A and B are shown apart, each in its own frame.
Chain A
Amino acid sequence: MQKILTIAMKEFHDALKNKLFLMLLIILLVLIGVSIIVTSFDFQNKVMEYNKSVQILKNLGKSIDKIPAPRFFPLQMLRAVMEYLEFIGAIIGIILGYLSIAKEKGKNTLQLLLTRPIGRFDIVSGKVLGNSILVLLVLAAAFVTVCFVMWVIGGVILSTTEIMKLGIVLLLSFIYIMGFFCITSILALVNHSLPNALIFSIIIWLLFVLIIPQIGDTMDPDNQIPGGFFKSMNISKPQEKEILAKFNTYETIRNNIEESSIMKQYERFVFALLGIKDEYNNKEIGFILMDKRGDGVWIMVFFLVSLGLEYFILVRNNLLLHRV
């Protein structure tokens, strides 16, 4: 265990010294702050518009019951934050995974490490543990930024349930990012050329995080018009479902395309937990977890399979030591 901890601490300190990682971390935190500030201003605008409409109606002596007051759900403000974690969080995982192997292969220290009385299992465990702590700290910093900005801008203090929901989101984000960490480590281990391994990882990220979900979004009939097609046609949600049921094949293909992206599974789970999807807003945690268990299982499978592969490749494959 001591050996694992020593390697983990070395990984942790090495990553903290890396300028690129620090730059990416700063970008992520700034973006999180900016996106919450932008969302807060958006909500303030809605409140101002509501107050103006109320005043006009009052002046006219009419009832104000027909205008719904804007309701504030703090976790819904995290939509852009989650999207940044989907994009940049995955890139952080890729860079950490790459650096973790590249520094050993680049300086030929992997063989040196294995001449010491350290098991290969310890090396993988140490690397995964060190980077896990770092990713958890990054996420914790992100969520502290979220809470701080919310408190400063809107004076919002999250309830216990909301903090619990955020905690589950943090855990899931950790699993999602570490999945990309493991995939990149594997590619860096098996590939002769380290830069090629990095480019491959970026291509995987591009396909599964940006392009496949983009195809699904673009195929969504409701996304064809700004503001939503069904809204422009004055169609209610139940009517929309009824109509779309007649286009089952198209919707099934679209859904399957979206579901082939691990990012979309992650997004569906966290959007439900944070109440960004209206049907899950203010619902019990147990209900959401039960309803979204399929997406949760896929994310776990993605992480566990990539982690298992990393162990398998480094522990079993002797040839790797000669690929430097």
Chain B
Amino acid sequence: MITTIALSEFQTLRKQKIFILLLMIFLSMALFSTYIGWSAKNTILRIYDEIIKEMGTKDLNAVPSNPFLNTAPLSILKNMVIYVELIGSLLAIIIGSNSFIRERRAGVSKIIFSKPIRRIEFVLGKMLGIFLVLTSIMGVTFAISIFSVALVSAHILPFAEVLKLLFFYGVSLIYMFIFSMIGLYFSIVSKSESMAFLIPIMIWILISFVMPQITSALDPAALLNPTNIQATFPQSHFFTTVQTIIHPFSISENYQIIGKSLLEGNVNEFPMRSSLLFLVILIPGCLHAMYKYNACEEEMSE
């Protein structure tokens, strides 16, 4: 039963125009991000050569070393961390929200729950379906990244780098799954379709912008820059305490740290705890919401 619901979920999404539009944007950005990374790196290396040429005529000792000499081959994909955070999580919210709203809008939920289907099976089937969809998206994105990196750098990535990239997309899958669960939860408990979508968007803003601002003191625009910028954190007891409390739960910040570790290799931290904690709360949360859901209530309003 769970597999049937999951497969149905997978097939229905293919017909959703909004999902297809956002998916196309996400996949295009996956392709484009490689080009942006390659183009920026290439330009900066040419600028560096230009600076060396200028300095070479004056003082050779004053020439700083090339900051891009030992960058990891995957570093040209560093923008993907931001695109997963922005477009990927929004896509995940839409997938999660749509999965149950569709049934409620059409009144199908009443029919489904009048059949001998256990609610737990139904919601697990939905979750499995969502997970399959997200895995497929990540799989295609992984293939696009490998292909595009090989294309722009004119050589195939070594196996170790491919593994790192695979791990990165695995972590991204977990990150997106969290947002799809937030979407699914609010599609069960919300009274209207708009609220089922808007509340997860508010939570997304809180997670992506508000929490990192409080814990890192970075400006909102700086949070979207994949370069590792450090802001001066206020030296006050209040801020340090708030940072200590919030930082472990700031999943977007922790996701960025993991992304940088894997793609750029300049940090070696893998703070997965916050993501797993969110999943531990959200999955039973969705199960509980579905258990409490009243199928006989009025149909969902727009």
Contact = CB atoms under 8 A, between A and B. Distances in A.
Given A20-B198, A87-B220, A211-B86, A223 B225 contact: yes
Interface residues of A, number: 60
Interface of A: 20, 23-24, 27, 31, 34-35, 37-38, 41-42, 45, 79-80, 83-84, 86-88, 91, 95, 98, 102, 105-106, 193-196, 198-200, 202-203, 206-207, 210-211, 213-215, 217-219, 221, 223-226, 229, 232-235, 239, 243-244, 246-247, 250
A20 B40 CA distance: 40
B302 interface: yes
A87 B44 CA distance: 30
Interface stretch (B109-117, B157-165, B209-217): B209-217
A194 B194 contact: yes
B51 A243 contact: yes
Contacts of B232: 42, 45
B11 interface: no
Given A20-B195, A219-B36, 4 more contacts: A34-B213, A106-B302, A198-B197, A203-B22
B260 to A, nearest CB: 12
B220 A83 contact: yes
B25 interface: yes
Which 8 A-B pairs rank lowest in CB-CB distance, beginning with the nearest?
A41-B234, A83-B220, A194-B302, A195-B193, A214-B224, A80-B219, A38-B217, A106-B302
A216 B141 CA distance: 22
20 contacts: A20-B195, A20-B199, A27-B206, A84-B220, A86-B220, A87-B209, A91-B205, A193-B302, A194-B194, A211-B83, A214-B224, A217-B221, A218-B227, A221-B47, A224-B227, A226-B229, A226-B230, A233-B48, A234-B64, A244-B47
Contacts of B213: 31, 34-35, 38, 80
Contact of B205 (A88, A194, A200): A88
A86 to B, nearest CB: 8
B64 A247 contact: no
Contacts of A37: 234
Contacts of B279: none
Contacts of A225: 67, 227
Main DSSP-derived SS at the B contact region: helix
A84 B44 CA distance: 30
A207 B195 CA distance: 22
A200 to B, nearest CB: 7
B239 interface: yes
Contact of B36 (A203, A215, A234): A215
Contacts of A79: 219
B266 to A, nearest CB: 10
A250 B54 CA distance: 20
A83 B217 contact: no
A41 B235 contact: yes
B79 A218 contact: yes
